[in-house]
Amino acid sequence: MASAMWPGLVRAWMRSALLLWLACSSVWAQSDASPALSQAADQGPQMQAIRVSESAWYVEGLSALGSSANQNFISNAAFVLTPGGVVVIDALGSPALANRLLQEIRKITPLPVTHVIVTHYHADHIYGLQAFKAQGAHIIAQRAAKEYLNSDTARLRLIASRHDLAPWIDETTHLVEADEWIDGPMQLDVGGYQFLLQPVGPAHTPEDLVVYLAREKVLFAGDLVFRSRIPYVGQADSGHWIKALDALLSFDATVVVPGHGGLSLHPREDMELTRDYLVYLRQSMGTAAKNMEPFEDAYQAADWMRFEHLPLFRIANRMNAYNTYLLMEKEAQ
């Protein structure tokens, strides 16, 4: 009896070992021809590079929470082709996705990725960094991210992600430090193309960095700009965020690649919407906090008419208002 079961058990074991190997190896597979990588592409969400300008392209993540099914493809990444190599902005939410982005780049150019610029160290923008690092790319970020990188929050988040986003985040996935930490604005020249790296934090995060490609008037805004939806405010410093948006408006970009969602072809309106929303949150909740009016009363009394038609209003607005109320209480002290 036992010996009759044995070949079946061996076959089942071999099948699961093979599946496990395919799943795990896809995380660090780098070759175009890798069967594991194409399996990752087959199983995962669609990814297609969309042209932004003469030299810039981007891929657009899903409007969803990160999951095993979507490989954590919930944020955007962009790349710029220069005669001296490719500059990537943000690394996506898993090494497998980063490898798929590399595949998209290779469809367009054989040139290597020379630089990766990180707009901020949120998991969905950085878990792919190790794939670019393995290819020899030079990673640049704003120095304030170091505090997060060395925090328990970052460590625990990665541990949780190994479970929540398995197998795309696993034991081989690790946090990657920048090769170059910048403190102020930087002009980066790659192949004769000028990139302005402008720190604008603390806003969405302490380390927010935007990238401006002046020759094509393209602004890579990270998570400072949320397009056609209610922004996610979280623990953000909304006062500085508003100032940062004013700084972005001065760039005079004709197209903005946001951290999430589609391209902004009307950057001024989109940025003004985010700014006006933050201003209104701070005004309405600030007055209530100062007068020690309870949050619930202030929330009911506020006039949300201008924003309530926006996607995610029902999901995000109350939490945004509440976080702002707490922030304004703190600022009032």
Task: List interacting residues with Zn ion (CB under 5 A).
Answer: 75, 122, 223, 259
- Closest C-alpha among 211, 232, 224, 208 to residue 63: 232
Q: Which conformational region is residue 72 in: left (phi greater than 0), alpha (psi within -120 to 50 degrees), or beta?
A: left
Least distance between Zn ion and beta carbon 267 (Å):
18
In angstroms, the Cα distances linking 117 to 46, 190, 222 are 24, 13, 10
**Which position has the token pair 């004013």?**
246
Q: By C-beta, is 100 or 122 nearer to Zn ion?
A: 122
| Sign of the dihedral through C-alpha 112, 261, 199, 176 | negative
Q: By C-beta, is 66 or 259 nearer to Zn ion?
A: 259
Least distance between Zn ion and beta carbon 259 (Å):
5
CB 141 within 8 A of CB 178: yes
Q: By C-beta, is 208 or 223 nearer to Zn ion?
A: 223
Q: Which conformational region is residue 85 in: left (phi greater than 0), alpha (psi within -120 to 50 degrees), or beta?
A: left
Please give the radius of gyration of the chain, using alpha carbons only, rounded to the nearest integer: 22
**Which position has the token pair 């297609």?**
48
Least distance between Zn ion and beta carbon 123 (Å):
9
Least distance between Zn ion and beta carbon 232 (Å):
8
Q: By C-beta, is 203 or 289 nearer to Zn ion?
A: 203
Q: By C-beta, is 122 or 289 nearer to Zn ion?
A: 122
Least distance between Zn ion and beta carbon 328 (Å):
24
CB 113 within 8 A of CB 78: no
Least distance between Zn ion and beta carbon 236 (Å):
11
3-state secondary structure of 91: coil
Q: By C-beta, is 204 or 328 nearer to Zn ion?
A: 204
Counting Cα atoms < 13 Å in the Cβ hemisphere of 285 gives 27
